Structure 1
Amino acid sequence: MTVGLLVGGERITQSTGGSHEHIYPATGQSNETVALAGSQEIDRAVTSAWEAHRAWMALTVDRRRDMLIDLADLVHEHLDELARLNVDDYAVPISFAGTALLLERFLRHYAGYVDKPHGASTPVNGSFDVNLIEREPYGVVGVITPWNGALAVTASCVAPALAAGNAVVLKPSELAPLAALRFGELCLEAGLPPGLVNVVPAGAAGGDALVRHAGIRKVHFTGGGATARKVLEAAATNLTPVVAELGGKSANLIFEDADLDAAAVLSAHQGPLMQSGQSCACASRILVHESVYDTFVDKFLSVIGTAQVGDPMDPAVSFGPVISQSAADRILATIDEAVSHRAGELLVGGKRLGGKLARGYYIEPTVFGAVDNASALAQTETFGPVVSIMRFRDDAEAVRIANDTVYGLNAFVQTNDLARAHRVARQLEAGSVWINQFSDMSPQGPYGGYKQSGFGRTGGAEGLHEFLQIKNIRIGMR
């Protein structure tokens, strides 16, 4: 049976984009056959979205607000189902699959913005004219989500896009389309106009058709830098504006006054364990003050050693497989290259897991110590369960090493010195700095990158404004 696209409220199982055999990473076995959108389906989705946008904007603000709250209520009722689909998508352990809860939280948060003022009125020099500054929706926006965070990105992008008055063509990765498709169904069940949220799993060709479509007025892309360059090139066809949330090589600074037990737990889960390191927020460069380096490493490796590996549907499991065979091959090649080039000392891991897990794409949590920050291991996003540990002497060196990368999405600081926390956070070149805290996305906080980690924001008022364009209206008062 083929899982179909969701366009204008209808399922489409026969598509011009062909199909994709979805593989469950924990077993290496076929899970579903997924229809993929080609240019014809993209065109149909955009047309449907414009019709739905007009219907959406014909509703009063209180009605749109209440419908988004109804959708949030429906998502709440289906949290367990969405979490299980998240596991089916990319074998993230069910213990971490609570990103479905983000969907509910973002919907509730942005529903509250629907009926709030989006504009302003200002005086004009030398005149008594009425000068209005309004924020209006783009109309139809394209949202491209990555396989490793389909629900999280859907939450942070679709919720504000709808609250701003837009319709959405949502393109999840063909590697993880199942939870996003179910969300599209819930939008219909909540009474949103058919086509307001179209869900079109697609590969590179379908994504290119979406970005190049003249009916798409803005694109929000989450993914890697190489693909982002292709997206920007395609968007240039119609000068379509793009928001890009890209990768990272985040530094995690462990100062000598930190709670080392807590820092070890946080570093393990924010590093190689969470989503098997397959996260843009992965803290893959761990910088440790030289006076506590050995003590921290011992505690850190101890936490790594307690990680439960196995069936992602088991609530006790905290560490799962990587997404595919090709990803496993790439990550293992990165490890082998780091060993052969002596980029650091391999402290633990480095191999593919066998036994009853051999058919899945499981790689051991892998830790390198005494890593050279100039090495490829420290500078290239691995997107796998591989982290590097480095020493630093003082605050200035810690900041210098942390900023010595082309990326700037997240940074983490472990310290009990409040003055140091403030000082260092302001010196770090990152869009988000987390002090003694995991990367915990919330609808109240803007999220996005510096440097090659992207531009634009999701979350907060800033995330809403990404889906609104500004119009100035001046009324002469003669």
Structure 2
Amino acid sequence: MTRRTAHPYENENKAADMTTTSSPSSRSSSPGATGDLGVTGPLVNGTWLDKTSMGAVDHINPATARTNGSVLLAGPQEVDDAVAAAKAAHPEWRAMSPDKRRRILQRVEELMLARVPELGRLTTLELGAPITMASALAHLCAGWFGYYAGWADKIEGATIPPSPVMVPGLDYTVPEPYGVVGIILTWNGPIMSVGMKIAPALAAGNCVVVKSPDLAPFTVARFAEIALEAGLPPGVLHILPGGPEAGEHLVRHPDVDMISFTGGIPTAKKILDSARHSLKPVLLELGGKTASVVFPDADLDEAVASTVRSCFNLSGQGCNLTTRLLVHRDVYERVVRTAAGAATALGVGDPFAPTTALGPVIGAAARDRILGVIERAADSSRLVVGGHAVDPAALTPEVRDGYFVEPTVLADVDPGSDVARHEVFGPVLSILPFGTEEEAVALANSTPYGLGAVLYTRDVSRVQRVVPQLQAGTVHVNGASGQPPGAPFGGYKQSGHGREGGKEGLFEFLQTKNVFIRA
């Protein structure tokens, strides 16, 4: 007798099989009331709250347009309670032997690696991200915890050499944690930001209060359960799913010593405005309009394939995706045809299907906004493929009500247009021609952003000329590397300031004290 494997959406009236603890992040309510993921809410001082000041909202699965579960939203009261608990817990966490902090973070990595499938499934259910990509994000997150565990007992200062005019004595530096760090996560793959932000903040000896996104709270909550299981003391990590009220109160709170934020420029400006009241430092990882710059001597098929894979990753809902393709005129039409074919060949639909490369966008409002951007852009550019919502008849029954947009390719895009200069945050690739090396550099730098750039050429001399001129925090040549935990990530211009990942990412969460002891 053959056993039939249930589709993930068939469990929509049951508790998720990987979330069976008693916390609100995993507790299912009555059958049919809130769907597969049950109820999640704030974690404050080791306790999952059963009610909050802001009440509950439904979470919608973007692939099915059906209710996924329920989210208890945190507000100013929950922020106050979490910050107070974090402040009280900080002296003990800071004083803990660094090797003990290292072992806790190593245990987090081990548990996360063992639970990549369940973390991936949660990300797919709440974001609609294809399951292969969702699992990869969880694996990346675990890698950052392993990397920063290795730093936890290696944070050291320097001895300052004496100068001729110096009073005799010992001069040295000591890196110290800020205290309470407020972290505001964005919704497009928050598990990745968990690794890039929370891991180094904890390794540095800070306590953390996280404002998790109400659009994607379940995976972050599951991470918190894993962290507690790994031995993280209850007051060190707090999770507050919520909206703007919780975020603003966290930034303004006088006992929050630093803010780390990932998101868009408009919200970043509000955060900076709120942070000025206490003059606290703010780490910003913002948007991007990353360009692939393709010269005639490049491997054109690889350049197009890599650009298309990146552009349509997470349905275009990412900050460092290659959403612009700048192509030398000598090979322009060939590249346009190849890009159109590659985009058309992408599997679109059920994010749990192994062949799916493009899932839904996050919601109906996002879908309608993206389609409006495409419609306006088509007036001044050539719509090569896509440009519409996916025909429900082309989708499997489980996802026909989801928020799907066709992979879209625009050619002959006006460099000064909105679609060429600003984020679409949807599955849209803009292709622009150039004639000279100087023109290519000017086009690559012509947006307000400076997060990333990719250069395709076999000419080593050109690489050495062009790379120093690109205003971007990360430049890849002939293909991307992924995101190694030891590599710093961040942007120039309006893509933010500060770095996440690597040693630079650790020291963002430390402040340096200079000590002089007179002889």
Secondary structure in 2 matching 1:123: coil
Can you list the C-alpha shifts for 1:261-306, whole angstroms capped at 9, x where unaligned? 11111011111x2011100012111100111111111211111121
Distance (whole Å) between structure 2 residues aligned to residue 173 and residue 117 of structure 1: 31
Residue 12 in structure 1 maps to residue 49 in structure 2: yes
Written as runs of structure 1 = structure 2, the 5 A alignment for 1:74-153 is 74-97=111-134, 98-125=136-163, 126-153=166-193
Distance (whole Å) between structure 2 residues aligned to residue 103 and residue 53 of structure 1: 24
Partner of 2:218: 178
Partner of 1:169: 209
**Equivalent residue for 1:326, pick from 358, 362, 365:** 365
Displacement of 1:453 in angstroms is: 0.6
Residue 368 in structure 1 maps to residue 410 in structure 2: yes
- Give the aligned residue type for 1:409: L
Distance (whole Å) between structure 1 residues aligned to residue 181 and residue 261 of structure 2: 11
Partner of 1:469: 511
**Equivalent residue for 1:311, pick from 320, 344, 350:** 350
Displacement of 1:123 in angstroms is: 2.7
Displacement of 1:439 in angstroms is: 5.9
Partner of 2:237: 197
Distance (whole Å) between structure 2 residues aligned to residue 25 and residue 160 of structure 1: 31
Can you list the C-alpha shifts for 1:172-206, whole angstroms capped at 9, x where unaligned? 11000111111111111001100211111110111
Q: 1:200 to 1:117 in 2, by over 3 A?
A: closer
Written as runs of structure 1 = structure 2, the 5 A alignment for 1:282-431 is 282-339=321-378, 342-355=379-392, 356=395, 357-431=399-473
Distance (whole Å) between structure 2 residues aligned to residue 163 and residue 200 of structure 1: 21
Partner of 2:110: 73
Q: Answer yes or no: is the 8 Å Cα contact 2:41–2:74 preserved in 1.
A: no
Displacement of 1:209 in angstroms is: 0.9
Can you list the C-alpha shifts for 1:336-385, whole angstroms capped at 9, x where unaligned? 1112xx32100011000122454111000111101110111211211101
* TM-score normalised over the length of structure 1: 0.97
Written as runs of structure 1 = structure 2, the 5 A alignment for 1:179-258 is 179-258=219-298
Partner of 1:455: 497
Q: Answer yes or no: is the 8 Å Cα contact 1:55–1:193 preserved in 2.
A: no
Distance (whole Å) between structure 2 residues aligned to residue 258 and residue 362 of structure 1: 33
Residue 60 in structure 1 maps to residue 102 in structure 2: no
Gap runs ≥5 in structure 1: none
Q: Answer yes or no: is the 8 Å Cα contact 1:95–1:316 preserved in 2.
A: no
**Once superposed, what is the RMSD of the aligned Cα atoms?**
1.2
Q: Tell me whether 250-259 or 50-59 shows the greater mean CA deviation.
A: 50-59
Gap runs ≥5 in structure 2: 1-28, 30-38
Distance (whole Å) between structure 2 residues aligned to residue 377 and residue 69 of structure 1: 43
Displacement of 1:135 in angstroms is: 0.7
Displacement of 1:447 in angstroms is: 0.5
Partner of 2:73: 36
Displacement of 1:60 in angstroms is: 0.9
Displacement of 1:438 in angstroms is: 2.8
Partner of 2:61: 24
Can you list the C-alpha shifts for 1:60-91, whole angstroms capped at 9, x where unaligned? 11111111111111111111111111112211
Residue 260 in structure 1 maps to residue 300 in structure 2: yes
Moved beyond 4 Å, runs of 4+: none
- Give the aligned residue type for 2:111: L
Distance (whole Å) between structure 1 residues aligned to residue 212 and residue 161 of structure 2: 45
Q: Which has the higher contact order (CA 8 A, sep 6+)?
A: 1
Distance (whole Å) between structure 1 residues aligned to residue 156 and residue 497 of structure 2: 22
Distance (whole Å) between structure 2 residues aligned to residue 326 and residue 56 of structure 1: 43
Q: Answer yes or no: is the 8 Å Cα contact 1:66–1:111 preserved in 2.
A: yes
Q: Answer yes or no: is the 8 Å Cα contact 2:363–2:403 preserved in 1.
A: yes
- Give the aligned residue type for 1:326: A
Q: Answer yes or no: is the 8 Å Cα contact 1:248–1:453 preserved in 2.
A: yes
Displacement of 1:315 in angstroms is: 1.7
Displacement of 1:145 in angstroms is: 0.9
Displacement of 1:224 in angstroms is: 0.3
Distance (whole Å) between structure 2 residues aligned to residue 456 and residue 249 of structure 1: 18
